[in-house]
Amino acid sequence: AGIKPGRTSRREITVFTSTGLAVQDAVTAKLAYDKAVSKRLGRFIDLI
């Protein structure tokens, strides 16, 4: 970190894969769900 400069132009693309970190997906989903509930958005459905 800090040894080389980052992107030097907008044409340079950065790719990140977080394969194997399902906990990040779960936390993101929970945050989105909580925000939707607080704004009274969406619809409750029974899946089972």
Give the span between the Cα atoms of 7 and 27, in whole angstroms: 29
Q: Where are the domains of the chain?
A: 1-42
Give the span between the Cα atoms of 44 and 37, in whole angstroms: 10
Predicted TM-score (pTM) of the model is 0.52
Summarize pLDDT for 5-26 with one digit per residue, the tens.
Answer: 888 898 999 888 878 788 988 9
Summarize pLDDT for 24-47 with one digit per residue, the tens.
Answer: 889 999 999 999 999 999 998 999
